[in-house]
Chain A
Amino acid sequence: MPSKHNELDRDPDRQSVLSSRLSFADTPGVAVDMAMLNDLAAAQVAGEPDLIVELIDLYLEDALRRMAAMQAAIAATDKATLNGAAHALRGSSASLGACQMAALCAELEGLDWPDSWPSARALLARLQQAFAHVRQAFTAERQSRM
């Protein structure tokens, strides 16, 4: 919701949190914190399909959908949709250990509008690159569990 995002953009506490996360975005070679991902196996329900595999499948599908939404939002200069997609992808990325993607999404959310469309395009390109690494890492983890 645009009004809520605008409020959040002005929140100094949130800006501090976002700034602290930016360092992840420039950390080379850290696509996924596998320890964080594997920790979620504690939520595995006995007798049900592998939870980590299911989470990976959901994430890879959802991330592609969110990035497509971001691309369309940038083309339409739709800030609210861009922020909403970045916010959603940040949450799931952070939860599954995709720290670099989470940090890039935080950067997208923290852009200083209204002259930020070139920065948004550049960040989305970096996000897509980061996603390629995450997909590689998640696919390998998925195969090791099959």
Chain B
Amino acid sequence: MMINTASASRRVLVADDDPVIRHLVTAIVKTEGYTPVTVEDGRAAYRLLQHDANFKAAIFDMMMPHLEGIEIMRHMRTEKRLMRIPVMMITSEQSPKLLSDSFAAGAAIFLPKPFTAAQLQMMLRMLFSKNN
């Protein structure tokens, strides 16, 4: 697949098994002028990342079927072509341990649910600034 360089730099990978949250995050990514690329679980995100690293950022739900967000992130940190992609973790859990584990695994931003549109927009801007 040919990928236009300009559009590739505007692509954001969104992985969440919840269709409501996935749609909401996708909409907010669009309002920020980026192109969402969505997958429905962790395994699909992992498979996509095997052959496609052209993402400005990635947003993962912490708990997904097959492969959890934190596990994908740990994998990304072991591959040079993927480690530059900043990751935001979204989760319903608010445990300090999970937050700590996420940052230890390499998350740039940790956003607990529920969140407002403004909160996610602000966090996205912070995330995008990570690899400028």
Contacts and interface: CB of A to CB of B under 8 A. Distances in A.
Interface residues of A, number: 34
A36 interface: yes
Contact of B94 (A1, A17, A39, A96): A17
29 contacts: A1-B63, A1-B68, A4-B68, A11-B95, A13-B97, A17-B95, A36-B116, A39-B116, A39-B118, A42-B116, A43-B24, A43-B27, A43-B31, A45-B30, A48-B27, A48-B30, A51-B24, A51-B27, A54-B23, A55-B20, A58-B19, A61-B19, A84-B65, A88-B17, A91-B21, A92-B20, A95-B24, A95-B113, A95-B114
B21 to A, nearest CB: 6
B93 interface: yes
Interface of B: 17-21, 23-24, 27-28, 30-31, 63, 65, 68, 92-97, 113-118, 120-121
Q: By CB atoms of chain B within 10 A, which of A58, A61, A91 has the most?
A: A91
Most A CB contacts (10 A, CB to CB) among B68, B113, B118, B120 go to B113
Contact of A45 (B17, B27, B92, B116): B27
Contacts of A88: 17-18
B101 to A, nearest CB: 10
A102 B114 CA distance: 10
- Counting from the closest, the 10 A-B pairs by CB-CB distance are A42-B117, A92-B20, A94-B114, A91-B92, A43-B27, A95-B114, A43-B117, A43-B28, A13-B95, A14-B95
Interface of A: 1, 4, 8, 11, 13-14, 17, 36, 39-45, 48, 51, 54-55, 58-59, 61-62, 84, 87-88, 90-92, 94-97, 102
Contact of B18 (A4, A14, A45, A91): A91
